[in-house]
Structure 1
Amino acid sequence: MTAQSLHAPQSSSIAFPGGARLLADVGGTNARFALELAPGKIELINVLPCADYPTLAAALQAYLALPAVVQANVGPVRQGAIAIANPVTGDLVRMTNHHWEFSIEALRVACGFETLVVVNDFTALARSLPLLSDLQKHQVGGGEAQAGAPLGLIGAGTGLGVSGLIPSGDSWTALLSEGGHVSFSPFNETEVAILRFAWREFEHVSAERLMSGVGIELIYRALADHTGVLAEDIGAPEITRRGLSGESPLCDQVIEAFCCMLGTVASNVAITLGAQGGIYIGGGIVPRLGARFDRSGFRARFEQKGRFAAYLAKVPTFVITAEYPAFVGVSAILSERLAQA
């Protein structure tokens, strides 16, 4: 992918005294890299397929060796921050949805960093939420954010990420959550049938099993079985395409089921965190659904919570439309870490 630029709202032309900073957002499929040359001035964005590199270190070094990065002549990069789709609980990181594993300290040394911060990708994405402009998010349904209240975050892509942001003095604390792995909770008979089908393949059916790319494929097979329709051997992109184009009623049912079940997940996060500042939706799937997501039963399901319907009706839900929001969040985390050093 051609190198790109991102200028965050706090963009400044004054360079960092320690030089350019390396930012990365590593998922199960792609690793996104950039250099932050000054506060909010994020340049040379490039996306590398994880499958093309044996290790994260190899991918990171390949990015730094790209002609556009070398020609930028920014000098040695000594500070770095990586957001990764995985729990980060110590020095050793093993990715859940990819084979990469590494020691943070060994990676720091191998790449020549003085400081290297590694955090969960949804921790970084959560940290970006207060920094998003109105043009970088799209509200679905009603509700109004309460100032100073917690924010909730979910995102379906290769997996299902969950996090939250809690006010902490003049700053925020991002939660290190693995909430995507909570047990799936069906809402109606159709979703019970989907769960029963999923039990044929998995002993434990988490929310992530269904709220993800492979989850869309699982919902497709389950609904085909439930309705007596022959399932074809097609993946999530084709299922989504057929559903959005209107050429397959079954695929459209899959999209609708996905959106409604995501509404249940979102409302569970909202009442668990007391997220009256709003629920934000990231990940790669929902933004691709566009207006179909707005028309879906997502928001109705979000509010359909019995005695807590009125409570949830006041909580706004936003789709994150910013292209690289995790860079903004991981940059803020790195800046805070360096300020404490």
Structure 2
Amino acid sequence: MNGAADEIHRSVLAFGGERVSRPDTGAGWPALVADIGGSNARFGWLADATSRPSHVQALLVADHAGPAEAVLAYLDGLRGLTGLAAPRPVRMAMAVATAVGGETLELTNSHWRLTPAQLCSELGLRELLLLNDFEALALALPGLRPTQLRCHGAAPDPRGTLAVIGPGTGLGVAGLLQLGSRWVPLPGEGGHATLAPADDFESALLAQARREFTHVSAERLLSGIGLPLLHRCVAAVLGQPAEALSAEQIVQRGLAGQDAVAGRTVDQFCALLGSFAGSVALTLGARGGVYIGGGIVPRLGDRFFASAFRERFEAKGRFQAYLAQIPSALITDTLVALDGAAQALRQ
């Protein structure tokens, strides 16, 4: 590895990401792609400019001190898997669950900190490309195959403007704009926008949530970290005791039909998500389609498609007809952000 004293150049990319590189940066392969969330760090290997991510592996964020340690652990495993003497990536595109910019990044829902210039030197990279995780997911949308989607009725039409929303550990939001033959992602932090109630029950839920947090964002309730809070609020409004449950336990019990409060929490999650997704579609003018990503909704299966999600998505008063024409689909493949990171390297 080259030392931290190597000269590093930094540039902001036209589509919102950031690049740090050494003076000898140029097209080079092989490369790494990574999708770093609050719970999982997923890695893939790109042999050349035309290949898709291979040797994909997910590591637990909690098991590693930081991104450099996780990358080295992945490369150690890759050597054992492929028999390569010393696989050394030339470039890397890393999608991270936080806003990109500045000298040091702190992931919103994990203990990891990231200094791009230092990471580039520690890993001996010619180039490190940083993107918001949903910026990468947005870039993957036009290339999604039917086997990677489950649609509400008609499939999205990947033209014009698209949107993606993803409840995982947190809540990600991004857009994608078509400009001629190119796609330009619109990264943001929409998950931290204030969540709005649609009826008296939801008003009571948010009032209950404000007893714990002065600002109730969409992420406070519509995410892995938010489901336990939503469960507590549902129980309180229903006047039921609230057992302390993890997000996974809430989903399991709710789908099993053995816990009425957990079941109501799952249904309320889908309804609130539909309302929020409709607001995002209106804000971006995402007439090509709205995609739901993240790790939570795929676990809901048929319960999600039987829920009030789509009804609430369209329930925007005078713009109901406008939203009724916008298709929505669940992304069933949780690894597609790696494809978006690869597209960012090629683009």
Q: Given the superposition, is the C-alpha separation of residues 51 and 218 from structure 1 closer, same or farther in structure 2, using an over 3 Å criterion? A: same
**1:323 CA displacement:** 3.3
**1:98 CA displacement:** 1.1
Structure 1: give runs of 5+ residues left out of the alignment.
1-16, 337-341
Report the 3-state secondary structure (helix = DSSP H, G, I; strand = E; otherwise coil) of the residue aligned with 1:80. strand
- 1:126 is the counterpart of 2:138: yes
**Aligned twin of 2:28:** 18
CA deviations over 1:304-326 (Å, ceiling 9, x no partner): 11000000000000100123100
Q: Given the superposition, is the C-alpha separation of residues 70 and 111 from structure 1 closer, same or farther in structure 2, using an over 3 Å criterion? A: farther
- 1:33 is the counterpart of 2:43: yes
**Superposition TM-score, scaled by structure 1 size:** 0.90
Equivalent-residue separation in structure 1 for 2:263 and 2:103 (angstroms): 44
Query: CA-atom RMSD, angstroms?
Result: 1.6
Equivalent-residue separation in structure 1 for 2:55 and 2:231 (angstroms): 38
Q: Given the superposition, is the C-alpha separation of residues 195 and 141 from structure 1 closer, same or farther in structure 2, using an over 3 Å criterion? A: farther
Q: Given the superposition, is the C-alpha separation of residues 21 and 79 from structure 1 closer, same or farther in structure 2, using an over 3 Å criterion? A: same
- 1:82 is the counterpart of 2:94: yes
Identity across the alignment (%): 42
**Aligned twin of 1:189:** 200
**Aligned twin of 1:149:** 160
Equivalent-residue separation in structure 1 for 2:147 and 2:55 (angstroms): 22
- 1:203 is the counterpart of 2:208: no
- 1:276 is the counterpart of 2:287: yes
Is the Cα–Cα contact under 8 Å of residues 123 and 174 in structure 1 kept in the other structure?
A: yes
Is the Cα–Cα contact under 8 Å of residues 142 and 158 in structure 2 kept in the other structure?
A: no
- 1:167 is the counterpart of 2:178: yes
Structure 2: give runs of 5+ residues left out of the alignment.
1-26
Report the 3-state secondary structure (helix = DSSP H, G, I; strand = E; otherwise coil) of the residue aligned with 1:158. coil
Q: Residue 300 of structure 1: which of 305, 311, 336 is its match? A: 311
Report the 3-state secondary structure (helix = DSSP H, G, I; strand = E; otherwise coil) of the residue aligned with 1:41. coil
Equivalent-residue separation in structure 1 for 2:302 and 2:86 (angstroms): 41
Report the 3-state secondary structure (helix = DSSP H, G, I; strand = E; otherwise coil) of the residue aligned with 1:82. strand
**1:102 CA displacement:** 1.9
**Superposition TM-score, scaled by structure 2 size:** 0.89
**1:47 CA displacement:** 1.2
Equivalent-residue separation in structure 1 for 2:176 and 2:184 (angstroms): 6
- 1:112 is the counterpart of 2:124: yes
**1:18 CA displacement:** 3.0
CA deviations over 1:8-64 (Å, ceiling 9, x no partner): xxxxxxxxx833211111001111111112323322111111111111111111111
Using the TM superposition, name which of 75-84 and 270-279 deviates more. 75-84
**Aligned twin of 1:328:** 339
Is the Cα–Cα contact under 8 Å of residues 44 and 68 in structure 1 kept in the other structure?
A: no
**1:219 CA displacement:** 1.2
Q: Given the superposition, is the C-alpha separation of residues 89 and 222 from structure 1 closer, same or farther in structure 2, using an over 3 Å criterion? A: same
- 1:136 is the counterpart of 2:145: no
**1:147 CA displacement:** 5.8
Q: Given the superposition, is the C-alpha separation of residues 74 and 149 from structure 1 closer, same or farther in structure 2, using an over 3 Å criterion? A: farther
CA deviations over 1:66-115 (Å, ceiling 9, x no partner): 24356245742111110111100234211111121121111001101001
**Aligned twin of 1:265:** 276
Equivalent-residue separation in structure 1 for 2:108 and 2:190 (angstroms): 14
**1:245 CA displacement:** 0.8
Q: Residue 329 of structure 2: which of 309, 312, 318 is its match? A: 318
**1:215 CA displacement:** 1.5
